[in-house]
Amino acid sequence: MMPSLYKEGGIVGVIGEKDKLEAGILLRISSLWYADKPFLEEMSLFVHPDYRSARGGRASKLIEFAKKCATELDMPLMIGVLSNDRTSAKVRMYEKRLGDPVGAFFLWGAKTGQDVIDEEE
């Protein structure tokens, strides 16, 4: 998170006022150990519970922001859903904006929302 906040290979996108954050996304420039080409990686996408069912599609707007950043940087974007809450609905929303998924994550021995994994929207 710190690189995004300190402009060291990261990007922060927010929706809301300075004193009333509605939603946000953290992105960072990353690379995989087996590849040379960097990509833009979504570290967290969060919509405050008060705005999750509100009009305006904040999560969708943040996904579009991430796509725009990746396009402007000429980098692929890696973004996904890691959640035990309404997972299928979230995956459908991402598929609608990004196309078919390319893999899957599995979490054994914990649930999202616990201290080890933060819940995302």
Q: What six digits make up the tokens of 62? A: 């943040």
pLDDT given for residue 115 in this prediction: 57
Ordered domains of the chain (ranges, CATH): 2-98 (3.40.630.30)
What are 28-70's pLDDT values in tens digits?
A: 999 888 888 999 999 999 999 999 887 779 999 999 999 999 9
Average of per-residue pLDDT values in the chain = 85
CA separation for the pair 83, 113 (Å, rounded)? 8
**In terms of pLDDT, which residue wins out, 58 or 1?**
58
pLDDT given for residue 121 in this prediction: 47
Q: How confident is the model at residue 2 (pLDDT cuts 50, 70, 90)?
A: low
With 0.85 as the threshold, say if the pTM is over it.
no
